[in-house]
Amino acid sequence: MRAVFLDGRGHHEVVDDAPTPTVGADDVLIRPAAVGVCGTDLHLVIGDYPTGRFPVVPGHEFAGTIEQIGSAVTGLTVGQKVAVDPNVACGKCDDCLTGAPNLCEFLVPIGVTSNGACADLVAVPAHVTYALPDGMSMAAGALVEPLSCVLHALDRGPALTGKRVSVHGAGSIGLLAVIVARAQGASAITVVEPSPARRAAALDLGADVAVAPGDDLPARSVDVAIEASGHPAAVTAAIDLLAKRGTLLQMGVVSSETTIALRPYDLFDRELSLIGSQSLATSFPAAVELMTEIASTAEKLVTHTYGLNDYGEAIAAAHSDSALKVHLIPGN
The CA-CA-CA angle for residues 153, 86, 64, to 5°, reads 115
Give residue 257's pLDDT.
86
What is the CATH number that goes with domain 3-145+280-329? 3.90.180.10
Nearest to 55 by CA among 18, 102, 105: 18
50 has pLDDT over 80: no
Segment 27-39 mean pLDDT: 96
Write the CA distances from 161 to 209, 244, 253, integer angstroms: 18, 17, 26
Q: d(Cα 65, Cα 131) in Å, to the nearest integer? A: 10
Contacts of 292 (CB under 8 A, 6+ apart): 133, 136
Alpha helices in the chain (DSSP H): 39-45, 94-97, 138-142, 144-156, 172-183, 196-204, 232-241, 264-270, 284-298, 311-319
Q: d(Cα 115, Cα 117) in Å, to the nearest integer? A: 7
pLDDT digits (tens, 9 = 90+) for 144-167: 999 999 999 999 999 999 999 999
Q: d(Cα 124, Cα 171) in Å, to the nearest integer? A: 27
Q: What percent of the chain has pLDDT over 90?
A: 94
Length of the chain: 332
330 has pLDDT over 80: yes
pLDDT digits (tens, 9 = 90+) for 64-86: 999 999 999 999 999 999 999 99
Give the helix, strand, coil percentages of the chain, each rounded to 5: 30, 25, 40
Same fold, 3-145+280-329 and 148-276: no
Segment 296-307 mean pLDDT: 97
Distance of CA 303 to the CA centre of its chain: 16
pLDDT digits (tens, 9 = 90+) for 102-132: 999 999 999 999 999 999 999 999 999 999 9
Give residue 7's pLDDT.
95
Alpha helices in 18-142 (DSSP H): 39-45, 94-97, 138-142
Segment 192-206 mean pLDDT: 97
Provide the residue ranges of all domains of the chain, joining segments of one domain with +: 3-145+280-329, 148-276
Nearest to 62 by CA among 43, 44, 86, 79: 86
21 DSSP assignment: P
15 by DSSP, 3-state: which? strand
Segment 241-262 mean pLDDT: 94
What is the CATH number that goes with domain 148-276? 3.40.50.720
Going by pLDDT thresholds of 50, 70 and 90, the confidence category of residue 196 is very high
